[in-house]
Amino acid sequence: MKTNSIITSLKLKSTDTLIMVIFILLGFLVVTQLKVQSTPQKLASLSEQDLGQIIRELTLETDALRKEIFNLQVRLYDYERKEATQRSVLNQAVQDLQTMKILAGIAKVKGPGIKVSIIDEENTLRGYDFLELIDELKSAGAEAIAVNNHRLKLWSFFKDAEGKVYLNGEVIESPYQIIVLGDPEVLYQSLSIPGGVIDTFSPLPGVNLIISRESEIALPATKIRKLKYGKPIKE
Amino acid sequence: MSWIVLLGFLLGIVMGLTFKVPLPPIYGRYLGIAILAALDSVVGGIRSLYEKNFNERLFIAGFFTNSLLATFITFLGDRVGVDLALAAIVAFGVRMFQNLTLIRRYIFQSRRWE
């Protein structure tokens, strides 16, 4: 009743009210539509054509990504293979270096071998006696030799002076202790064969020689020597 | 007359901003077509005002029938797999531009700019 009185007081016709309602509705719908459209579109609101397009694009993208995965896996495989090769080469090199260090006498080494203890009370042994002994051990396959804790190497030398024996310029004296790395049995045999070192040394006055076979001996290392004249030849 | 239109429109906008209508996005298309039809009716009404043969009842009836028919055509098109919304868009769009041309002409004539 109250709205009717307002309408009549404003001299409104019923159609005017309806027109107003229409425009209220229009404004309301426009705003609602704008609000709905401004929110991000969801897949459910898309047409079949749009969805098909999206699927096609996604399929292409997926294919491209799969291809990329494959390529990357191939590259990864390549790198792994290369790395494995390099690692094996490196391992080989490290092993070679280790062997060379032991052979050159600049690395400590342990393993089976023999100990030769010589007591020379009357100082009858000379440098060439040691050379004979050591040559015998080398021919029996000795891999490393130390005399009185001096590791023998390529540039080691024995020398006699003033009735004393020098090794690398240092005096060595009885009791001599020679440690040899190699097959204990073979080394022992090489020294004890008839006419061998034992036979040669034992008759000497005051010389007493004891050989013991060891399952584990350790040899000291010497310092590396700088080359003064030699230069490597590249192959 | 015009203040009724403006007031109604503003009121509708305020209501639309105030009340949140949980309209599923899938119906956004239908609402859009309905709005297009409604706007066509409004432009047609303005034209008839200038031609001095504006009929309120015809306008009201046209407003609702246009909107409902357009929405229904769109709905039907989606059912049968043909985009019939295009028919409504083209029909209302063309007519709106024709009516706007006429309205422009009436305004120019009334102000003797031609």
User: What's the rounded Cα separation, in Å, for the pair B51 and B48?
Assistant: 5
Which tokens is A76 given? 């990864």
Write out the H or E segment, with its range, that includes residue A219: strand A207-219
Contact flag A29-B31 (C-beta cutoff 8 Å): yes
Can you list the pairs that B52-56 forms with residues at least 24 positions away whose Cβ atoms lie under 8 Å?
B56/A13, B56/A15, B56/A16, B56/A18, B56/A19
Asked if B13 is an interface residue toward chain A (Cβ–Cβ < 8 A), one would say yes
- Digit-coded pLDDT (tens) for A33-70: 888 777 666 666 677 788 888 899 999 999 999 999 99
pLDDT at B113: 76
| Ranges of H-type helices in B21-84 | 28-50, 56-80
Give the one of A24, A31, A33 whose C-beta lies nearest to B8's C-beta.
A24
Quick check: B59 contacting A, CB < 8 Å? Answer: yes
**Helix (H), strand (E) at residue A169:** none
Burial of A111 (0-12, 13-18, 19+ CB in 10 A): middle
Interface contact A20-B15, CB threshold 8 A: no
For residue B12, what are the contacts with CB-CB under 8 A and spacing of at least 6?
A: A23, A24, A25, A26, A27, A28, A29, A30, A31
The answer to whether the Cα torsion of A185, A191, A194, A199 is positive or negative is negative
Residue of A nearest to B6 (CA): A23
Residue A19's pLDDT is what?
84
Q: Cβ–Cβ of B25/A41 closer than 8 Å?
A: yes
Q: Percentage of chain B with pLDDT > 90?
A: 36
Work out the mean pLDDT of chain B and round it to a whole number.
Answer: 87
pTM of the model: 0.46
**pLDDT of amino acid A76:** 95
- CB–CB contact B12 A31 (8 Å): yes
Contacts of B20 in chain A (CB under 8 A): 35
- Where along chain A do its domains lie? 2-35, 46-104, 110-219
Element housing A196 (H / E): none
- Which residue among B5, B17, B60 places its CB closest to the CB of A15? B60
Q: Two tokens at B57?
A: 């009842």
Nearest to A133 by CA among A95, A174, A179: A179
Give the model confidence (pLDDT) of B36-80 as tens digits: 999 999 999 999 988 888 888 888 899 999 999 999 999 998 889
Q: What is the pLDDT along chain A (235 residues), one digit of tens a residue?
A: 455 555 455 555 677 888 888 888 888 888 888 887 776 666 666 777 888 888 999 999 999 999 999 999 999 999 999 999 999 999 999 999 999 888 888 899 999 999 999 998 888 888 888 898 999 999 999 999 999 999 998 888 998 888 889 998 889 988 899 999 999 999 999 988 888 888 888 888 888 889 999 999 999 998 888 888 988 898 7
Q: Which amino acid is at B84?
A: L
Q: Could you give the angle at the alpha carbon of A229 between the alpha carbons of A227 and A233, nearest 5°?
A: 85
Give the number of C-alpha atoms closer than 13 A to the C-alpha of residue A4, restricted to the C-beta side.
1
- Nearest-CA distance A42 → chain B (Å): 7
- Mean pLDDT over the full length of chain A: 86
Question: Would you give the end-to-end CA distance of chain A in angstroms?
Answer: 117
**Where along chain B do its domains lie?**
25-110
Question: Are A35 and B16 inside 8 Å of each other by CB?
Answer: yes
By Cβ distance, the residue of A15, A24, A47 closest to B11 is A24
| CATH number among 3.90.1660.10, 1.20.1260.10, 3.40.50.150, 3.30.70.1880, domain A110-219 | 3.30.70.1880
Q: Is B86 helix (H, G, I), strand (E, B) or coil?
A: helix
Which residue type is seen at B7?
A: L
